[in-house]
Amino acid sequence: MNIVVGFKIVPDDQMIKVVGDKLVTDAPPKISTYDKNAIEEAIRLKEKFGGKVTGITVGSNDRKSIREALAMGVDEVIAVISNKIDVYATAMAIVENIKPLNPDVVLFSEMSTDSGTSALPAYVAEALGLPYVSNVKSLKIEGNKVIADRGMVSYVETIETTLPVVLSVGGEINTPRIPSVKQIMESSKKPVKEVKFDIQPKVIVKEVKPLLVNRKKIVIEENDIEKAVDKLLEYLKSDGVL
């Protein structure tokens, strides 16, 4: 099976801080949270059906993050260097690089932690002319047939389609593996293909401002929980919410 998985290298969302009137986003890079679920699912498909997993990332080409994907079990990574990217430019960069591979399955996660548009997998599916199934929480492939459960929050939808297909997965689909020291060592031997791709994006981000919600941040710490609750109830009454 010919498997492609897209992953995004983003600033660590737990380290993004509001400082004064600025949102400081130059946090250490990491693979976006649910993208690891996409990588895990890609590797599981390979373990079941054989074949190859090609990873593709656009934008940041942080070595450590790419190594992590390889250590998890991705065979090769295409790192597309591009400065100005929106959904359109990212999709075009991906399509140009994966179309020649004729993938059976293209996996993404359902949402990145930085821009979080959920739009990229759908955009890529259309550009490749393939069916798209979003928010997959469980996946079964038998021969050419794909059966998936989509978690839509207020309902779960079971669908059937055929390969080739583009999928986006959520955090429920699996638990991403943690590579062993040996796998991390060996990942340095795996190929990383760096390519340049430049196209005029359609969406320009002028600035990112912090969304400030001023909270009181009052810590109530008492040895006696009942005392703590008394204090809290008083506060909540004066706030007019109880």
Partner 1 sequence: MKIVVYSESPVFLRMGAAVAQSFGGELIGISTSQDAKFFNKLYLIENTDEEGIVDLVVSLTPDVFITGNVRKDRAIAGRVAGRLKLPIITDVLSIKLDGNKAMINRSAYSGMGIAVIETELPLVMTVASTQLQPKQIEPSIEKVKLKEGRIKVIGRKSTSSGANISTADIVVGVGRGIQNKENIKYAEELATALGGVVGGSRPVAAELGWVPEDRQIGLSGLRIRPKLYIALGISGQPQHIAGIRDSKIIVAVNTDKNAPILENADYLIVADAVAFCKAMLKKLGK
Stretch that binds partner 1, among 42-50, 59-67, 187-195, 200-208 (CB under 8 A): 200-208
Return the C-alpha torsion angle 200, 98, 91, 40, nearest 10: -140
- φ/ψ bin of 143: left (φ > 0), alpha (ψ from -120 to 50), beta (otherwise): left
In whole angstroms, what is the distance from residue 91 CA to residue 119 CA?
A: 10
Closer residue to partner 1 (CB): 138 or 183:
138
Judge contact between 221 and 228, C-beta under 8 A.
yes
Tokens of 126: 């259309």
Site for partner 1 in 63-122 (CB under 8 A): 86-88, 91, 110-111, 113-122
163 binds partner 1 (CB under 8 A): no
**Is 237 exposed, middle or buried, given 0-12, 13-18 or 19+ CB atoms closer than 10 A?**
exposed
Which tokens go with 140? 């079964």
Contact 29, 65 (CB under 8 A): yes
What is the Cα Rg of the chain in Å?
Answer: 21
Decide if residue 134 touches partner 1 (CB under 8 A): yes
Quick check: 181 binds partner 1 (CB under 8 A)?
A: no
Asked whether position 199 contacts partner 1 by CB under 8 A, the answer is no
Q: Which of 172, 190, 195, 197 binds partner 1 (CB under 8 A)?
A: 172
153 is an interface residue for partner 1 by CB under 8 A? yes
* Residues touching partner 1, count (CB under 8 A): 81
Q: How far is the CB of 117 from partner 1 (least distance, A)?
A: 4
| Distance of alpha carbon 75 from alpha carbon 73, whole angstroms | 6
Cβ proximity to partner 1, 65 vs 112, nearer residue: 112
Residue 19 binds partner 1 (CB under 8 A): no
Taking the complex as a whole, the smallest distance from the CB of residue 70 to partner 1 amounts, in Å, to 26
Side-chain-side CA neighbours of residue 8 (13 Å): 26
In the complex with partner 1, the residue whose CB is nearer, 126 or 194, is 126
* Nearest CB to partner 1, comparing residues 83 and 158: 158
Burial of residue 185 (number of CB atoms within 10 Å: 0-12, 13-18, 19+)? exposed
| Residue 169 engages partner 1 in binding (rule: CB under 8 A) | no
Under the criterion CB under 8 A, does residue 26 sit at the interface with partner 1? no
Residue type, 85: I
Tokens describing residue 177: 């593996």
Q: How far is the CB of 236 from partner 1 (least distance, A)?
A: 7
Residue number, 81 or 232, with CB nearest to partner 1: 232
Q: Could you say whether residue 35 binds partner 1 (CB under 8 A)?
A: no
